[in-house]
Amino acid sequence: MEKINLVDALSELDEDLVVKGVKSQLAENVPAIEILGQLQKGMEKVGKFYEEGEYYLSELIMSADIFSSVADLLKANMAQGAELETHGTIVLGTVKDDIHDIGKNIVATILGCNGYKVVDVGVDVPIEKFVEAVKEHKPQVVGMCCLLTTAFDAMKDTVAAVKAENSAVKILIGGGPCDNNVAKYCSADYYCKTAYDAVTLMEGQCKA
Amino acid sequence: MSKTELYNVHLERIKKAIALEKTDRVPVIPVGNSFCANHLGVSLADFAMNNELAADTMLKSFSSLGDIDGMQQPVFSPYLLSYQWLSKVRIPGIDLPKDVPWQVAEAEMMTVDDYDVIINKGYNTFFKDFLKNRLDNLEEKVNPVFAYTPQAIENCKKEGLVTLSPIVCCIPYEVFCGGRTMVKFMRDLFRLSDKVQAAMDIAMDDIVESTRQVLRAMKPTGAWVGGWRGASEFLSPKVWNRFEWPYFKRMVEVVLEENVIPVLHIDSNWERDLEKFLELPKGKCIFSSDHATNIYKVKEVLGDHMCIMGDVPAALTSLGTPDEVYNYSTKLINEIGPKGFILSSGCDIPFNAKPENVKAMIAAVTDK
């Protein structure tokens, strides 16, 4: 039987074929970590389609969902202690007084499937919790979201506190009312207009 | 000039802008709710729970800030957001401190099985049951808002102000997406595409019929046809052309058939699909964008076809200075208008917008 190309199957969002391919490789004793690597390459291809305007958020979410469902299948087969290498770490949360999490969850999902470790600190996150997470996880990037303009000041204070803890960490912001002016107001390093901008920025930061 | 004459001047000006005709000046029609409470020192907890207070506050706030032609909406309740997106909303004074703005709490309130319920029992049956059993008897909270709306419109009229769009029309994409959550609903569009479409078709027929009844009973000047989560930037053309546009277009046509002005309330970025809006009749609708869609692109594609409204950004009214807001608004008047243009905020004016900034926006049309 011809080996199923997991990179193509995932990037074409063919869920049945991905599941079949993963099961078949596991049956042939291909190490789970190697299969996960193929799936991550598939996610990279999805990202490329997105950047080229062929795919949109709907396809990013669907691909992430396929990835997550087979990743669960693979985790059960991973050698004890084996972990897939990640490209970098981001601490991500919605700032204090704002409970909106749609954008944050989408960014977390897409970054996770693209090989980044996401430390999701939740919504309505106090400044100290961001700072603690930065101390503990030593991320390259901190991502802050909000949907309310009333959260701009909390975002600004959180950026200042995180920078005081670690001046090297880069801070990106995003969410409905944000733009480059808001990033400037908050002294953040970057503004992400779309969820996938976070992946592009992480790539830049983690290569640096 | 009497208030009635003033109302007629305002209405005529708005209608000319929609018909892409020359006007004596660009109309300005703000939209906002929590901003008005903050402006006049009304607690958000009281504003959220008292329809009459909310309506009076909105009217007093906006009419005190300059020579506006009207308001987009005359009354507000956060429970309307719940009704629109099948989601729970956290309310100031109940779930939140009394002066923290209400926020939609996204959660999976609608299940995959509900598509079957809609298909087998009809949308109205599903919706009524949902409001009662999953949204804590929501009808008891929203019915008084609907009942008060005609009075709120009348109060605006007495001040010479047009209420542009007191009704909000939502297509199934928005309702389902809110109830299922954005991520889960997008998965459904792939995994259960035929079932979702079947449920949407049934829901659309019921929603259209209810919308017609409301429009016939209230005879409003206009109605919002909302596009939020179904924005082009979120969906591939294949998905958008199947699940969003046909329903959106039909809703606009229904509103037009009832002789009501469709105010296309367009949030997020729809730039890719602007040309589709050319399928709607010329000089009959308002394209109202929130600043995420490039308004210059809107002008380029739709400027000869549809009145444009917007798009002073929320961040500018909250963080900017009056000069910055005035200059931004003036640029819009000159470059997007003056013909076929209505000045407004991009979506709602936010809670913490500075009143002097809203005043500067309004002043830009009168040069006062």
- Which of A7, A152, A62 lies closest to B187 in space, CA to CA? A62
pLDDT tens digits, B177-205: 999 999 899 999 999 999 999 999 999 99
A62 CB-contact burial (10 Å; exposed 0-12 / middle 13-18 / buried 19+): buried
Q: Searching chain B, which residue's CA lies closest to the CA of residue A185?
A: B319
* Domains in chain B: ranges and CATH: 3-366 (3.20.20.210)
B213 CB-contact burial (10 Å; exposed 0-12 / middle 13-18 / buried 19+): exposed
Q: Which residues in chain A are closer than 8 Å to B191, comparing Cβ atoms?
A: 15
> In chain B, helix, strand, coil percent, each to 5?
55, 10, 30
Report how many Cβ contacts below 8 Å link chain A to chain B.
Answer: 85
Q: How many CA atoms lie within 13 A of B116 on its CB side?
A: 3
State both tokens at A92.
Answer: 């991500």
- The ipTM (two decimal places) reads 0.85
- Which of B298, B315, B301 lies closest to B353 in space, CA to CA? B315
* Element spanning B111, H or E: none
Q: Searching chain A, which residue's CA lies closest to the CA of residue B108?
A: A102
How confident is the prediction for chain A on average, in pLDDT?
Answer: 91
In DSSP notation, B45-78 reads HHHHH-HHHHHHHHHHHHHTTS--SEES-S---T
Q: In what order do the strands lie in the sheet with A88-95?
A: A116-125, A88-95, A141-145, A170-174, A190-192
Q: What's the average model confidence in pLDDT over B356-360?
A: 98
* Alpha-carbon gap: B294 to the closest alpha carbon of chain A (Å): 13
pLDDT for the residue B364: 98
Q: Searching chain B, which residue's CA lies closest to the CA of residue A148?
A: B350
**Pairwise CB contact (< 8 Å): B182 & A149:** no
Q: Which residues in chain A are closer than 8 Å to B316, comparing Cβ atoms?
A: 181
pLDDT for the residue A78: 74
* Element spanning A195, H or E: helix A195-207
State both tokens at B125.
Answer: 């049956």
Distance CA B368, CA B363 (A): 5
Q: What's the average model confidence in pLDDT over B145-159?
A: 97
- What percentage of residues in chain B have a pLDDT greater than 70? 100
* Alpha-carbon gap: A58 to the closest alpha carbon of chain B (Å): 5
CB proximity A152 to B under 8 Å:
yes
pLDDT for the residue A10: 95
Phi first, then psi, for residue B102 (nearest 5°) are -60, 150
pLDDT for the residue A1: 63
pLDDT for the residue A84: 67
- What percentage of residues in chain B have a pLDDT greater than 90? 97
* Alpha-carbon gap: B113 to the closest alpha carbon of chain A (Å): 20
Choose among A56, A99, A106: nearest Cβ to B90: A99
pLDDT tens digits, B20-75: 999 999 999 999 999 999 999 999 999 999 999 999 999 999 999 999 999 999 99
Q: Searching chain B, which residue's CA lies closest to the CA of residue A180?
A: B315
**Pairwise CB contact (< 8 Å): B181 & A177:** no
Q: How many CB atoms lie within 10 A of CB B238?
A: 12
Q: Give the model's confidence band at A99: pLDDT under 50 very low, under 70 low, under 90 confident, else very high.
A: confident
- Which of B234, B84, B276, B232 lies closest to B171 in space, CA to CA? B84
**Residue among A63, A100, A147, A149 with most chain B CBs within 10 A, to mutate:** A149
pLDDT for the residue A2: 75
Distance CA A8, CA A10 (A): 5
Q: What's the average model confidence in pLDDT over A3-8?
A: 93
Q: Give the model's confidence band at A101: pLDDT under 50 very low, under 70 low, under 90 confident, else very high.
A: confident
- What percentage of residues in chain A have a pLDDT greater than 70? 96
Q: How many CB atoms lie within 10 A of CB A91?
A: 28
**Pairwise CB contact (< 8 Å): A149 & B350:** yes
State both tokens at B198.
Answer: 């079947």
DSSP code for B102: P
Q: Give the model's confidence band at B121: pLDDT under 50 very low, under 70 low, under 90 confident, else very high.
A: very high
pLDDT for the residue B186: 93
* Domains in chain A: ranges and CATH: 6-75 (1.10.1240.10), 88-207 (3.40.50.280)
CA B16 centroid distance within chain? 21
As a dihedral over the C-alpha atoms of residue B131, residue B172, residue B345, residue A96, rounded to 10 degrees, the angle is 60
pLDDT tens digits, B282-332: 999 999 999 999 999 999 999 999 999 999 999 999 999 999 999 999 999
CB proximity A97 to B under 8 Å:
yes
- pLDDT exceeds cutoff 80 at B251: yes
Please, which residues have CB within 8 angstroms of residue B272's CB and are 6 or more apart in sequence? B232, B233, B237
Q: Give the model's confidence band at A33: pLDDT under 50 very low, under 70 low, under 90 confident, else very high.
A: confident
- Which of B307, B316, B294 lies closest to B337 in space, CA to CA? B307
DSSP code for B133: I
- pLDDT exceeds cutoff 70 at B120: yes
**Pairwise CB contact (< 8 Å): A56 & B350:** no
- pLDDT exceeds cutoff 80 at A111: yes
Q: How many CA atoms lie within 13 A of B133 on its CB side?
A: 7
Q: In what order do the strands lie in the sheet with B261-266?
A: B167-169, B222-227, B261-266, B286-289, B307-312, B341-345
pLDDT tens digits, B252-290: 999 999 999 999 999 999 999 999 999 999 999 999 999
pLDDT for the residue A82: 64
- pLDDT exceeds cutoff 80 at A83: no
* Alpha-carbon gap: A31 to the closest alpha carbon of chain B (Å): 29
Beta bridge partners of B67: none
pLDDT for the residue B245: 98
pLDDT for the residue A72: 81
Distances, alpha carbon A193 to alpha carbons A57, A148, A190, in Å: 13, 16, 10
State both tokens at B237.
Answer: 């053309």
**Pairwise CB contact (< 8 Å): A57 & B233:** yes
- pLDDT exceeds cutoff 90 at B147: yes
- Which of B129, B275, B102, B117 lies closest to B203 in space, CA to CA? B117
- pLDDT exceeds cutoff 70 at A81: no
- pLDDT exceeds cutoff 90 at A51: no
Q: Give the model's confidence band at A208: pLDDT under 50 very low, under 70 low, under 90 confident, else very high.
A: low
Beta bridge partners of B306: none
Place of tokens 């589709």: B276
Q: What's the average model confidence in pLDDT over A78-83?
A: 66
**Pairwise CB contact (< 8 Å): A58 & B189:** yes
Q: Which residues in chain B are closer than 8 Å to A179, comparing Cβ atoms?
A: 313, 315
Q: Which residues in chain B are closer than 8 Å to A149, comparing Cβ atoms?
A: 314-315, 318-319, 350-353
CB A141 within 8 A of CB A201: yes
Pairing of strands B70-71, B88-90: unpaired
